[in-house]
Chain A
Amino acid sequence: MKDADKKRLLREMIFFRRFEDRCFEAYMERKIGGFLHLYSGQEAVATGVLDMARTGQGEKNDYVITGYRDHIHAIKTGAPAREVMAELFGKETGSSKGRGGSMHIFDASQNFMGGYALVGQPFPLAAGLAMGAKHKGTDQIAICFLGDGANNQGTFHETLNMASVWNLPVLFVCENNGYAIGTHIDRSTAQPEQYKRVDTAYNIKSSQHDGMNIETVLKEAKKAIDYVRKEQKPYFIEFMTYRFRGHSMSDAKGYRTRDEELEWEQRDPIKNFSKNLIKEGLITEQDIKAMEKEIDDEIENDIIKFAEESPEPKVEELTRYVLDDNPDPRWVGPLQK
């Protein structure tokens, strides 16, 4: 990896952490409503995988889809951060024009195909995106990020089976943070090693890796993405990770011990990557402090400002986007007598 890339990735991960921290504050200030699920702790997974995916090419991007913990996946795929924040503020300028909120960020222009609140629902949608790409003869792949909790839904089993039978180019990224909302994986899942649930059962290659180390994620994601694109087959990659905050804002984290949290905090992907870069002499502590300051300024003076100052959707437009707003009268017009 090039030195410039290392510094860029560190900056991105710090940005993602600070972005989510600022969401937390905005939620406390009641600027953000509804449910809010923050990604802090898991940054290396989305950052690393999506750095290896095809992004930045608009409609040629790989398709990305995920669950409700979706802000960072959207931004890393290419959704402007200020639009994501505006969405959280419920504004017309938001990623989904204020109709979706935190759990439903979409940016179709970047092939970010959405965040979904039904656990496990993105599995089949992702396979369908892959089917579409394959049918059109492009070499795009679909990347589906979901947590370990989603793997106990029927859609996991049904979709992995079909993705394998039909050779669909989809990468299933399992972000195993050990908890299905507030229930530990050992208490909910007969086989806690997620990657073992797919290889013999569905004839899909799979592997498990450290999701707290950005360099590991980059290396393993590249191999998996290359495989899916080249072989036109699904792959299942599991990253062991941890969320530093609760499942959502209403979560008091009573289901896990402080010792466990401290143990995982030692593996903080940002702290450890920072340490490595300092050790390698690429960056100093002061540089990181300056970087953090610059990011905070950007978040406050650009992103939050944009979200604050943007208009809300018009109530007169409440019923837009339910159905096609400009349907062809041949299919839905007045009935010919």
Chain B
Amino acid sequence: MAETAYWEAIRRAHDEEMARDKMVIAMGEDIGVAGGTYKATLGLYDKYGEDRVIDCPISENSYTGIGIGASMVGMRPIIEIMSINFALLALDTIVNAAAKIRYMSGGQLQCPIVMRTPGGTAHQLAAQHSARLARMFMSTSGLRVVTPRGPLDAYGMLKSAIRSNDPVIIIEHEQMYNLKEDIPEEEFFRSLEGAEVVREGTDITLIGYNYSVHLCLEAAKRLEADGISAEVVDLRALKPIDRETIRESVEKTHNVLVAEEDEAPVGVGSEIITGIIEDCFFALDSQPVRIHAADVPVPYNAKLEKAAIPHADDVYQGALKVLGKI
């Protein structure tokens, strides 16, 4: 095992896959000579050259489209979009092309691209650099959407995403790139499907994904001090969603809370709770609760920003509410 930062895990996955298969290339803004905004491709330009670690002009829609075109003829592009906000510029090629080409062609072609992008609120980056937008991608047929919570998944899911024949959107988070974890030194893969119980408990299920898993884990610790045993489920994949793991947990705890950093309407929480109502409504002892961002563009002012997004304390308070303790 080796202690590895989230960014190092991503870099390692790139490096191993690029060394193995020359069809694997990386594309994005400032990923080559500059080494990458999040260091995810640090040193790889020197190792693999400018034809495989491609510095792109600021043209998100078209360089993503070029990656998609290349993937249709056998290449495996890993496309970094510097912020998920900028991925909106590439929605046409992702949603209208990559997600649909296999289907429209009757299965003749495929678009095995990986698009990596951080979605989340960091420190006072204001409205146009703080969106989450996971809900936008999880509503699109033909995509896989995954949200690694730490280095283990960041490495193992990127490895799987590169080898998968489907277009995969990997949503990272600006607050997580320096998060460290021990991960095996030998090669491994983590499935692009399946939720995971990351902490076992019996009284309430706290469901999170990406950064909000950490809010759930912190809240679970505080709940434990109050004598409440919280189970934490990391969704890991937002498309497809693993409803079975969620159902099993809810049938055990009978209470549920979903924590998302995104705004609530038409979001991850809405989707998960609807699934719970469809799958195991009668297992519930209480009303499900969503913890989510305020329905506002993320403000610049630090106090306002703090008030706009959920924190571990909100998850803790929400859990107490679900359980009728407040």
Contact = CB atoms under 8 A, between A and B. Distances in A.
Given A128-B67, A131-B69, A132-B69, A108 B105 contact: yes
B74 A162 contact: no
A100 B105 contact: yes
B317 interface: no
B96 interface: yes
B167 to A, nearest CB: 9
A311 interface: no
Interface in B98-132: 101-110
A40 B132 CA distance: 47
B93 A121 contact: yes
A125 B61 contact: no
A158 interface: yes
A53 interface: no
A268 interface: no
A116 B103 contact: no
Nearest to B96: A118
Contacts of A94: 106
Contact of B103 (A99, A130, A331): A99
B62 A159 contact: yes
Interface string A144-165: 0000000000110011011001
B108 to A, nearest CB: 4
A141 to B, nearest CB: 12
A98 interface: yes
Nearest to A168: B66
A335 B193 contact: yes
Contact of A133 (B57, B67, B73, B102): B73
Contacts of B74: 132, 136
A124 interface: yes
A114 B75 CA distance: 18
A335 B104 contact: no
Interface string B73-89: 11100000000000000
Interface stretch (B4-12, B158-166, B294-302): B158-166
A69 to B, nearest CB: 16
Interface string A98-120: 11100010111100011010100
A123 B165 contact: no
Contacts of A133: 73
- Majority secondary structure of chain A interface residues (helix, strand, loop or mixed): mixed
Contacts of A333: 191, 193
B144 interface: yes
A332 B93 contact: no
Contacts of A99: 103-106
Chain B: interface residue count, which band? 35 or more
Contact of B25 (A106, A135, A334): A135
Contacts of A109: 108
Interface string B179-218: 0000000000111111110000000000000000000000
A77 interface: no
Contacts of B105: 96, 99-100, 104, 106, 108, 114, 321
A109 B106 CA distance: 13
Nearest to B105: A106
Contact of B166 (A65, A100, A162, A323): A323
A280 interface: no
Nearest to B54: A166
B284 interface: no
Contact of A131 (B22, B61, B75, B195): B75
Nearest to B60: A158
B175 interface: no
Contacts of A108: 105, 108-109
Which residue among B63, B73, B108, B196 has the maximum number of chain A CB atoms within 10 Å of its CB?
A: B73
Nearest to A127: B66
Given A124-B63, A132-B73, A154-B62, A331 B102 contact: no
Contacts of B160: 330-332
A125 B68 contact: yes
Given A158-B62, A327-B165, A332-B164, A121 B96 contact: yes
Nearest to B59: A158
Interface of A: 63, 65, 94-100, 104, 106-109, 113-114, 116, 118, 121, 123-133, 135-136, 142, 154-155, 158-159, 161-162, 165-166, 320-325, 327-328, 330-336
Interface of B: 22-23, 25, 51, 54, 56-57, 59, 61-75, 92-93, 96-97, 101-110, 141-142, 144, 160-161, 163-166, 189-196, 236
